């Protein structure tokens, strides 16, 4: 019987290689949600998966060209100490009239700490966003036009 074992590092490397070739990525994004301000009569204490998915959709709509001609991939990881989702994403098709500072400010105002950098394929962001692909709490989603070739 032929048996093969694949390491976590090999799985992560395969995901990173695949994602890096899906688009001509422009921005690497991370969003860390702030805890909500308590409201009278509310028992909501922290952001969850639903809020994180809604936040990413709003953020992508805000920064992408109109009509959206780009692509995005976003991954969630769960903060161990807070139990809240944390977003990592790659985006192409960014609205050329929008700069990183204004996108960062918009995300901060709506959600919390946002880090947005120009994508540099040499820095490994495609590998970084999928670093927890083997975990039970990992969530990945894709959006945009993946029916055409990158570029």
Q: What would the mean pLDDT of 107-116 be, rounded to a whole number?
A: 94
Q: Give the SS3 label for residue 118.
A: strand
Residue pLDDT, tens place only, 55-65: 999 999 999 98
- Judge whether 116 lies within some domain: yes
Residue 80 CA, distance from chain mean position: 18
Q: Give the SS3 label for residue 84.
A: coil
- Judge whether 9 lies within some domain: no
Of 118, 56, 48, 125, the C-alpha closest to 87 is 56
Give the Å distances, CA to CA, from 59 to 102, 107, 108, 134, 135.
12, 7, 11, 26, 25
Please, what is the average pLDDT of the chain? 85
CATH number, domain with residue 94: 3.40.1310
Give the Å distances, CA to CA, from 150 to 47, 92, 93, 112, 145.
34, 9, 11, 31, 10
- Judge whether 117 lies within some domain: yes
- Judge whether 98 lies within some domain: yes
For residue 22, what pLDDT is reported? 92
Strands (E), 22-70: 27-33
Which band of pLDDT confidence, cut at 50, 70 and 90, is reported for residue 98?
very high
Residue of 82 and 75 predicted with greater confidence: 75
Of 90, 141, 144, the C-alpha closest to 117 is 90
- Judge whether 151 lies within some domain: no
Domain count of the fold of the chain: 1
* Structural domain harbouring 136: 19-34+56-141
The answer for 7, left when phi > 0, alpha when psi is -120 to 50, beta otherwise, is beta
- Judge whether 97 lies within some domain: yes
For residue 135, what pLDDT is reported? 76
Which band of pLDDT confidence, cut at 50, 70 and 90, is reported for residue 35?
confident
Q: What would the mean pLDDT of 79-97 be, rounded to a whole number?
A: 87
Question: Which DSSP letter does residue 77 get?
Answer: E
Q: What would the mean pLDDT of 14-24 be, rounded to a whole number?
A: 91
């Amino acid at each position: 019987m032929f048996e093969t074992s694949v390491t976590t590092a090999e799985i992560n490397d395969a995901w990173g290689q695949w994602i890096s070739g899906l688009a001509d990525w422009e921005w690497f994004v991370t969003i860390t949600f702030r805890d909500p301000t308590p409201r009278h009569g509310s028992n909501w204490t922290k952001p969850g998966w639903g809020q994180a998915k809604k936040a990413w959709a709003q953020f992508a709509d805000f920064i992408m060209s109109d009509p959206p001609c780009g692509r995005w991939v976003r991954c969630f990881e769960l903060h161990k100490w807070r139990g809240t989702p944390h977003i990592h994403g790659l985006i192409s098709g960014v609205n050329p009239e929008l700069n990183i500072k204004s996108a960062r400010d918009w995300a901060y105002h709506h959600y919390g700490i946002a880090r947005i950098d120009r994508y540099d394929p040499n820095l490994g962001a495609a590998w970084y966003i999928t670093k927890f692909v083997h975990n039970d709490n990992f969530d990945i989603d894709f959006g945009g036009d993946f029916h055409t070739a990158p570029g």
